[in-house]
Amino acid sequence: MTGAASDRLIVALDLSSRAEAEAVVTELGDAVSWYKIGYQLGFAGGLPLVSELSRMGKKVFLDLKLLDIANTVEKGVESIVSLGAAMTTVHAYPQTMRAAAKAAAGTDLVVLGVTVLTSFDAADVREAGYAAAPADLVLQRARQAAEAGIGGVVSSAEEAESVRAVLPAGMALVTPGIRPAGTQAGDQKRVMTPADALRAGATHLVVGRPIVAAPDRRAAAGAILAEIAPLA
């Protein structure tokens, strides 16, 4: 396990209590540097963990996917900065991304625009009212994210190679829906293995259930880190 590899892996604390999340962090110890906190844990008393994990030297991806009027998004991102999060998400609408970029300017917070959720396929996108195919919508939103001046985007690893091609150097490309070979896809529809996602251009990989639900979480994380170490 190399330091570079651990900088690429984000473990999703998709759990329903702070105690469960703390147990995972304790078990993983120094093997993992990054954690994601989303709705499930955040609304179950987990938001204070953002600051606490940061004080422990961990990096936190606060995944709340903000979408509101520009002023509300701006003030929300300012509050996220005060928590000490390293990354956060907004939906990739131009007005929303511009407001988030304004609030994060001059700070270390990386704002990510969520392009198309990895649980969506072409039928889901059509049902939501978009005529474009998922891959085309992802590229459109990636270009708009770059224009808005935010720090990166979230996309399926399936689109990572094409997204990387339109993003300026230095922009983060975070890919959820990562599933090691032989594991269940669950409710994700556009998935990829860790090594393949990095080869496609991802900078960070979000992995939840394959680690958090594993009988030996540290071993599961170690296997992924070993897989990506040559590519990190």
CATH number at residue 7: 3.20.20.70
For residues 10 and 179, the model is more confident at 10
Question: Which residues contact residue 231 at a Cβ distance below 8 angstroms, ignoring those fewer than 6 apart?
Answer: 195, 198, 199
Range of the domain at 179: 3-231
Radius of gyration, CA atoms only, the chain: 17
Q: Is residue 56 within 8 Å of residue 81, measured between CB atoms?
A: no
pTM: 0.92
CA distance 98 to 144: 10
CA distance 212 to 19: 13
Q: Is the pLDDT of residue 172 over 50?
A: yes
Q: Is the pLDDT of residue 187 over 70?
A: no
For residues 191 and 139, the model is more confident at 139
**How many domains does the chain fold into?**
1
Query: Region 113-142: what's the mean pLDDT?
Result: 92
Residue 185 has a pLDDT of: 47
Query: Region 221-231: what's the mean pLDDT?
Result: 94
Residue 45 has a pLDDT of: 95
Burial class of 131 by CB neighbour count within 10 A (0 to 12, 13 to 18, 19+): exposed
CA distance 103 to 93: 16
Active site residues: 65
Q: Is the pLDDT of residue 146 over 70?
A: yes
Mode of pairing for the β-strands spanning 152-154 and 59-66: unpaired
Three-state SS for 50?
helix
Q: Can you say whether residue 225 is alpha, beta or left, with left for phi > 0 and alpha for psi between -120 and 50 degrees?
A: alpha
pLDDT band at 177; cut points 50, 70, 90: confident
Query: Region 199-219: what's the mean pLDDT?
Result: 95
Phi, psi values for residue 76, rounded to 5°: -65, -45
3-state secondary structure 189-206: CCCECHHHHHHHCCCEEE
